Amino acid sequence: MELDIRQIQEIIPHRFPFCLIDRVIDLRPNEKLTAIKNVSVNEQFFVGHFPEEKVMPGVLIIEAMAQAGCIYFYYSKNKQGKDLIYYLAKVSTKFHKPVIPGDQLKIEVTSVKLMNKAGFVATKAFVKDQLVAEAEIGFGIKET
């Protein structure tokens, strides 16, 4: 299954400039999700990080992985309606290479442990098949 930006925004509340997932290119609930974030030189964070040597902040790479994880968790737990899925914990994080303007982040999400109202996922971010970051992230659901 694939999701475009409109379908993504039906699941997560993030909007410009904080929606960090452009497209989901592969979604298999309870198995795997692959999402894309196109990193443009026009991103607001590049104004100050850093003007002479632009690098995507690591915290925003984690946020992109968390947003992809929210989408994966939503579909894997068959959630419907407007239940909010919250990023609760970063269990572990490793950064391997910088992400710069023009890069395309390919984010992969797999299950570590999924429960009814909470769960943990493993995420990896790649640029051109090179691992740039990885994190284990925890989520919880606030039912509405």
Catalytic residue among 23, 49, 79, 90: 49
Averaged pLDDT, 67-86: 81
User: Any idea how long the chain is?
Assistant: 144
**pLDDT(44) > 80:** yes
pLDDT value, residue 80: 63
**pLDDT(104) > 70:** yes
What is the C-alpha to C-alpha distance for residues 25 and 63, in angstroms, rounded to an integer?
A: 18
Q: Which residue has the tokens 């959630």?
A: 79
pLDDT value, residue 81: 60
Task: Encode 4-35: b = buried (16+ Cβ within 10 Å), e = exposed.
Answer: eeeebeebbeeeeeebbbbebeebebeeebbb
Q: Which residue has the tokens 């442990």?
A: 113
Q: Who has greater pLDDT, 90 or 30?
A: 30
What is the C-alpha to C-alpha distance for residues 72 and 70, in angstroms, rounded to an integer?
A: 5
Sheet holding 118-127, edge to edge: 23-28, 32-38, 104-114, 118-127, 130-142, 84-95
**pLDDT(46) > 80:** yes
Phi and psi at 26, nearest 5°, equal -155, 120
What is the C-alpha to C-alpha distance for residues 61 and 121, in angstroms, rounded to an integer?
A: 15
pTM exceeding the 0.85 threshold for the entire prediction: yes
Domains of the chain, each with CATH number or no CATH: 5-142 (3.10.129.10)
pLDDT value, residue 82: 63
Token pair of 61, please?
A: 């790479």
Residue-wise pLDDT tens digits, 109-141: 999 999 888 899 999 999 999 999 999 999 888
The 3 state secondary structure assigned to 83-140 is CEEEEEEEEEEEECCCCCCCCEEEEEEEEEEECCCEEEEEEEEEECCEEEEEEEEEEE
49 a catalytic residue? yes
